[in-house]
Structure formats: structure tokens, C-alpha cells
């Protein structure tokens, strides 16, 4: 039987070991409480991954078409976030 593969944000929760500076961990606990710690980390990591996916798209576009202006880059980030929010799915990096 083939092993299931999941997209970012999908699948059952899995335990991972994570090391953070104590001050960072305390700041997270102070902000969201102990019970929401994992959810906070998950959301932060997914936000970072979404940014990296967009950066990959922009780098690919620039390699084919040339530089993207800062205003176009900001607009792409806005559109990307809007589409992501509507679709509730992760776009594939390519």
C-alpha cells in the first residue's frame, strides 16, 4: 500500500521536536497561552512557507521575463494572499 502524501496544512497532526530560545517560547506562551502554542507555531510556519512559495514564483518569473518592480511585487503578494484565502489550498511551487 502506498504511503499517503499531504500538501502543506493537510493531514493528521504529527509530533516533531522543536528547539526555540527560551525567551521566544515564553513570548509565545504569554501571547497565546500554553494550549495554543502548537497552533501558533503551525500558523507561523505555514505563513513563512507561503511567502517562500511566492518568492519562488517571482524568481521564476524574473528569470523568464526580467525584473519585477516593487509595486508589482507587492501587488503579487496581495493577489497571492487573496487567492490563497479564497481557495483554502496551497498552490504548488513550480
What pLDDT does 45 receive?
A: 92
What pLDDT does 18 receive?
A: 93
Q: Is residue 91 part of a domain?
A: no
Q: Is residue 89 part of a domain?
A: no
Q: Which domain holds residue 76?
A: 22-84
pTM: 0.72
Grid coordinates standing for 10?
493537510
Average pLDDT across each block of 10 residues of the chain; the chain has 94 residues. List them in order: 77 92 97 94 89 90 94 88 68 44
Q: Is residue 40 part of a domain?
A: yes
Element (H or E) spanning 74, and its range?
A: helix 70-87
What pLDDT does 82 receive?
A: 80
What pLDDT does 35 receive?
A: 92
Q: Is residue 5 part of a domain?
A: no
What pLDDT does 63 receive?
A: 95
What pLDDT does 92 receive?
A: 45
> What residues contact 76, with CB distance under 8 A and at least 6 apart?
54, 57, 58, 68
Q: How far is CA 25 from CA 16, 18, 20, 53, 81, in A?
A: 15, 10, 6, 26, 27
Number of compact structural domains in the chain: 1
Q: Is residue 44 part of a domain?
A: yes
CA distance 49 to 57: 12
Amino acid at each position: 500500500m502506498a504511503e499517503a502524501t499531504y500538501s502543506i496544512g493537510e493531514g493528521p497532526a504529527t509530533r516533531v521536536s522543536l528547539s526555540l530560545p527560551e525567551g521566544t517560547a515564553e513570548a509565545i506562551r504569554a501571547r497565546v497561552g500554553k494550549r495554543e502554542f502548537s497552533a501558533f507555531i503551525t500558523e507561523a510556519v505555514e505563513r513563512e512557507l507561503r511567502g517562500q512559495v511566492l518568492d519562488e514564483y517571482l524568481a521564476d518569473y524574473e528569470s523568464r521575463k526580467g525584473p519585477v518592480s516593487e509595486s508589482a511585487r507587492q501587488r503579487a503578494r496581495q493577489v497571492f494572499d487573496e487567492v490563497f484565502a479564497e481557495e483554502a489550498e496551497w498552490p504548488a511551487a513550480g
